[in-house]
Each structure stands twice: as C-alpha cells, then as structure tokens.
Amino acid sequence: MKKILSVLAIMAFVITPMFANGASEKNDTLKIGVTIQSLENSYWAGVFGEVEKLMDAKGWDYTILGCNDNSATQIQQIENFITNGVDLIMVHPSDPNALEDYLATARKAGIKVMCWDDKMTNTDVNWVLDNTELGNAIGTEAGKFIAEKFTTSNQAEVAIINYPQTPILLERENGILAGLKEQADGKYKVVAQQPGIDAASSLTAMESILQAHPNVKVVCSIGAGGDIGSNEAFMTKYKGNIPSDVGIFSADATAQQLEAIVNGEATRASVGMEGSSIKTATACVDMYEKLLTGYKFEQQNIYRPLTVMDISNAAEYLKDFK
C-alpha cells in the first residue's frame, strides 16, 4: 500500500506489504516511513509528489505523513513506523530534541534513519543545508535589489515572512538579516516580521502587513509559502501590474515561484537547492537507496548545494518541472 497521508490519518496508520517486481509473499519488499513537518507547504508537496513516483517505480512500500509541525504527533508516527517494522525512517523534525530518543530506539531495532534539515545525533545520515548561508543568499539578493532601487533618503520598507519557532528557520531568518545589512545598509528598514509557513497563512500575514505598512515593497521569506502568499497579495494590490521597485526574495524555488519570476510578478529571486522538485526527489531517493543497501557515508552531515534562480535562469530551471 502506498500512500501520502495527512495527520488526520495517523490513528488509522497501517503499512501493508505490496508485492511487486517479482517479490514473493515472504514480505521482502522494502518499507519506508517518512514524516515531515507539513504536506500543506508547496515545497514539500512538490518534492514528495515526485518522491512518491520514484518509490512506486522501485516497487517499495511507503507511507508519507505530515505532522502539522506537532512533535507529539511526529513521535506517534515514528513509533508506528517502528512497530510496523519499516526498513528506513526519514524525518523532517518539528522539534529535533524531542525525537532523539525515539530515533535511537529505531536504530536499535535495525532501522536506518535519515534526517532532512537538522544535524541530529541518532541518525545514520543528516541531509542538511547551512541555513545561515541560505538565509544570507536570500538577503544578499534582496539587498542588491534594494541598493539598486532605493537610497538612504528613500529607504525601502522591508517585511520578513519568518517561522522562528523552528530553530533552523530562525537561523535562516538571521542569515537574511545579515545579507540585507551587508548589501544595503542604510537604504532599508525592516518594518514587519510575521510568521508564515504555507501560502494561505502567508497571504493573511502579508495582507495584514500591507494594511499596517502600505509602503512595504520588499519581502524576504524563509520559504516558498511566504513567497507565494506575498506574491498573491502584491498582485492584488497592484492589479497584476507590479512596479519595478517591488520584489520578493525567498528559498525553495518551486515551479510556482519560478513561473512568477518568468511572468514578471513580484517574485524576483529564489534560492533553490538541487534545481527542481524532480532533481531534489531524485537526490533524496538516492540517499534512501544508499542507506538501504548498506552504503557507509564518510560524514554524518551531507550538505546540499545552493543555487540562486532569478530572471536570468528561471525559465531554464522551470523546464525541469514540465
């Protein structure tokens, strides 16, 4: 049985073996359990839609769960994975510290463990970003834009769509602030910082920001949700005719973000990793396969690359999504 489930399905969670590609009834199909912060997030939904296709093609049995950024729910999901005897658990932690003991239990049971985004202890490998560096790249692109469009006597009003309750995203926000200062010190002022992890909550946050600060023209977001929601707010405000001094700078570089860049909307640049959801999913599943076949990583922390996608290259990267 292959399924991507929401948190609402957790109590009914059962992994049923799938027999494919000649597998016998000895239950020798590989079983993968994945738990991530949210499936409502555009980036995660896109990547794991592609991960699902790749695991289907390999004949693996898998369950992908969102925990709605709730560590108690995520712990329950991990315990269920252990009970059902999965071969690999991949976790995108809501609270890394809350999960360490449960992942240690999984490893004692012979289950391979991979963490996405955090440098955890009780894992076989952590697939991570330097989130300060990522934030700095976002802030640098925004700062360059501000330095070109604004002056010390005509400062840009900047809003930050953040998510400080998640430690790595706080690191990313701090990197954004540092990048802004390095590139455009004296030419901007941050007038609002509000949380937004998905497009819907970010749209609400941006609408509130624009009501309180109608002259905000630059937004830096820690992820795709903040970018997409803010872009929608700006497209409404300007009736689709975005001024040249309005810009959004973010992470993730989903297809929707790249389309906005190509179409001349408010999104100006997004810092991505492997290049597209397909390429990220392929790299992720390659990590799964290495773990499942006994590959020994030289280091526990494997760092992902960073790529700035803007009007100069967005159309080329967008081809990967088609």
Q: Are 172 and 134 in contact (CB under 8 A)?
A: yes
C-alpha pair distances (Å), 5 with each of 66, 73, 102, 190, 199: 7, 13, 21, 38, 20
Same domain, 115 and 142: no
Same domain, 113 and 222: no
pLDDT of residue 14: 33
Distance CA 203, CA 4 (A): 26
Same domain, 62 and 151: no
Encode the chain (322 residues) as per-residue pLDDT tens digits.
444 443 333 333 333 333 233 322 334 689 999 999 988 888 888 899 999 999 999 999 999 999 999 999 999 999 999 999 999 999 999 999 999 999 999 999 999 999 999 999 999 999 998 999 999 999 999 999 999 999 999 999 999 999 999 888 999 999 999 999 999 999 999 999 999 989 999 999 999 999 999 999 999 999 999 999 999 999 999 999 999 999 999 999 999 999 999 999 999 999 998 877 888 999 999 999 999 999 999 999 999 989 999 999 999 999 887 6
Specify if 94 maps to a domain.
yes
Specify if 319 maps to a domain.
no
C-alpha pair distances (Å), 261 with each of 36, 231, 315: 28, 10, 8
Same domain, 110 and 150: no
Specify if 162 maps to a domain.
yes
- Domain containing residue 212: 131-272
Same domain, 90 and 150: no
Same domain, 156 and 268: yes
C-alpha pair distances (Å), 92 with each of 55, 165, 213, 219, 268: 18, 15, 35, 26, 28
Same domain, 265 and 298: no
Domain tally, the chain: 2
Please give the model's pTM, rounded to 2 decimal places: 0.74
pLDDT of residue 156: 98
Specify if 288 maps to a domain.
yes
For residue 185, the number of C-alpha atoms closer than 13 Å in the C-beta half-sphere is: 4
Specify if 311 maps to a domain.
no
Q: Which residue is it, tokens 């023209």?
A: 217
Same domain, 86 and 167: no
Same domain, 296 and 221: no
pLDDT of residue 166: 87
Same domain, 44 and 135: no
Which residues does 23 contact at the CB level (< 8 Å), separation at least 6? Answer: 29, 59
pLDDT of residue 19: 25
Same domain, 65 and 196: no
Specify if 318 maps to a domain.
no
Q: Are 217 and 156 in contact (CB under 8 A)?
A: yes
In DSSP terms, which residues pair with 219 in a beta bridge?
159, 248
Same domain, 216 and 201: yes
Which phi-psi region, left, alpha or beta, contains residue 59 (left: φ > 0; alpha: ψ -120 to 50)? left
Specify if 215 maps to a domain.
yes
CATH code (residue 15): 3.40.50.2300
Specify if 316 maps to a domain.
no
